[in-house]
């Protein structure tokens, strides 16, 4: 008899982070550029400061002579900063999911046992034992899936009933 254990982690495929900036969430301030730049540097309001109100992030630009170009650059900077924040948040959530699935990997953390000599499959999470190993190994796992979904739905109902 040979006994072995394997740990398998299943996670959803990572999605791209999409950053949408609602114009209503951004305060736009125009001001005079500072520094050297010739005669009109302190007379035109070409510098732009954007404040993202929900997060308090600020991006400003005074590189160009054109207010429109500065505004576009500032929006790119703001979008980039919001992207970084959202990406960090997603990575933190993924790490939490990953850590919740990791166990010691020893035999006491078993999920399912396949006993070939008895033709038995036992799912230890829900206490299900089936004596149909041959068909299960060949891919007929619908009964296991149905039982797992039933237990999952029952737990969700229990949690929701505790809320009310």
Helix (H) or strand (E) segment spanning residue 146? helix 142-163
pLDDT category at 119 given cuts 50, 70, 90 is very high
pLDDT tens digits for 16-28? 778 888 989 999 9
The CATH classification number of 24-101 equals 3.30.160.20
DSSP 8: -
Please give the model's pTM, rounded to 2 decimal places. 0.55
Round to whole Å and give the CA distance between 134 and 85. Answer: 49
Round to whole Å and give the CA distance between 131 and 112. Answer: 13
The pLDDT value recorded for residue 136 is 93
Domain ranges of the chain: 24-101, 107-163
**For residue 9, is pLDDT > 70?**
no
């Amino acid at each position: 008899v040979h006994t072995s254990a394997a740990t398998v982690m299943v996670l959803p495929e990572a999605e791209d982070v999409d950053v949408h900036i609602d114009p209503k969430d951004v305060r736009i301030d125009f001001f005079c550029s500072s520094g050297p730049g010739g005669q009109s540097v302190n007379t035109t309001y070409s510098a732009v400061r954007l404040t993202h109100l929900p997060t308090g992030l600020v991006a400003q630009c005074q590189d160009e002579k054109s207010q429109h170009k500065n505004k576009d650059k500032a929006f790119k900077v703001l979008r980039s900063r919001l992207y970084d924040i959202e990406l960090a948040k997603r990575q933190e959530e993924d790490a939490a999911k990953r850590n919740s699935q990791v166990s010691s990997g020893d035999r006491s953390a078993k999920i399912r046992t396949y006993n070939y000599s008895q033709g038995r499959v036992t799912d230890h999470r829900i206490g299900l034992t089936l004596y149909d190993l041959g068909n299960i190994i060949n891919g007929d796992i619908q009964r296991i899936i149905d039982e797992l979904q039933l237990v999952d739905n029952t737990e969700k109902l229990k949690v929701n009933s505790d809320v009310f």
